[in-house]
Structure 1
Amino acid sequence: MGRWKPDGRGRLEQAALELYLERGFERTSVAEIAERAGLTERTFFRHYADKREVLFAGADELRELLADAVARAPGSAPPMEIAAAALRAAAVPMQERREQARRRQAVIAATPELQERELIKLASLSAALAEALRRRGVDDASAGLAAEVGIAVFKVAFLRWIEQAEQAGEQAGESGERDLARFIDESFAGLTTVIAGT
């Protein structure tokens, strides 16, 4: 047995992404992921329930981040403004892992099973956001609507951000690159335009 190396979870995640991009999600086994990471299948299953969860393991932390951001928002802010602030807060850790987010999205876009799982994740984020708004005293209907609309806006912003990342990867200079929070702000502004009909 070789020398122990730290960050088994991170190595499994990196190995899985590499293999999913090389071979496709369906044609990659847990054994292959573990081997690429220099770990055992048993270690893989200590971290992840199955090979899909490598791509969705951060959802719990994201739900907590949204709830914390909602709790910290100013008391007088309207629900949609609170939702927007929470989504901007969620953008920070994603921004730090832009390349991984781009690669992850490429795997999901190529696999219907993963697209379905992504929709489930987004629904769980919406539910967490709505519950956090309710805890602030926002009525059920307004909390649900602000959360659903907020997650829809976030999805549009995220895909635009990923598209920019792909284009930047094809070009030499990335100096004009905008961060995810900026795309979120632009998408919320676009929503206002759509509602106003201008």
Structure 2
Amino acid sequence: MARWQPGTGERLQAAALELFAVRGYEQTTAAEIAQSVGLTERTFFRHFSDKREVLFRGQELMTEAFLAGIAAAPSDATPMELVAAALDSGAALFPSERRAHSRLRQSVIDQNPALQERERLKMSGLTAAIGGALRARGVAEPAATLAAESAGMVFGIAFTQWLQEGEERSMSDIEHELLAELRGLTGTSPRG
């Protein structure tokens, strides 16, 4: 078996995603994932606590990106401007060249209720982190929770649209359109 090399985690992720897509998540073992790239099961578990985590690695990077947008926003930004800043910052993690990978990953998640639950938990954690950052910026309740939930909702809808076959708009463009639609529904101006 091959010794440790840089990029081992990424290689395991790519192999796992392909095996999950072809064979199914439940039918694929951690040992099979490791063997497909010339590694041992033990090496797999040095990088991931279980095979589910292969699909959710990087969650903390996504949360950090959203929070960085809030932190970088002007001090007089409204709650919805903070949401827009968070979404803009997070959108950078979804360049067009990641779309095919993200579609494949989502197709695996969509076929497994336990993975769907894990995805919802991830989104709940992101929304909670955004809410905490908004409160730290001085946004009072219930505005902080409403804005954070709006950020999570807009991101979730945008991500679903971004994954659609034939979709060519950037994640940022989709999010901006959805924020405009949300503002239209609430009758607020871009400043509000």
TM-score by length of 2: 0.91
Task: Write the deviation string for residues 45-86 of structure 1: whole angstroms up to 9, x where unpaired.
Answer: 111111111111111111112112111101111111111211
Range with bigger deviation, 3-12 or 26-35? 3-12
* In 2, Cα distance between equivalents of 1:117 and 1:2: 31
Structure 1 position 109, deviation (Å): 1.1
Please tell me the root mean square deviation across aligned C-alpha atoms, in Å: 1.5
Task: Write the deviation string for residues 126-180 of structure 1: whole angstroms up to 9, x where unpaired.
Answer: 01101111111111321111001110111001100000xx336xxxxxxxx2111
TM-score by length of 1: 0.88
Where does residue 132 of structure 2 map in the other structure?
131
SS of the equivalent of 2:55 reads: coil
How many residues are matched?
A: 186
Where does residue 75 of structure 1 map in the other structure?
75
SS of the equivalent of 1:145 reads: helix
Where does residue 171 of structure 1 map in the other structure?
none
- Identity percentage over the alignment? 48
Unaligned runs of 5+ in 1: 169-176
Whether the 8 Å contact between 2:62 and 2:93 is mirrored in structure 1 is: no
Whether the 8 Å contact between 1:109 and 1:115 is mirrored in structure 2 is: yes
Runs in 1 of length 4+ with deviation above 3 angstroms?
1-5
One-letter amino acid of the counterpart of residue 181, structure 2? G
One-letter amino acid of the counterpart of residue 153, structure 1? V
* In 1, Cα distance between equivalents of 2:99 and 2:61: 17
Whether the 8 Å contact between 2:59 and 2:122 is mirrored in structure 1 is: yes
* In 2, Cα distance between equivalents of 1:40 and 1:167: 39
Where does residue 195 of structure 1 map in the other structure?
186
Unaligned runs of 5+ in 2: 188-192
* In 2, Cα distance between equivalents of 1:121 and 1:185: 22
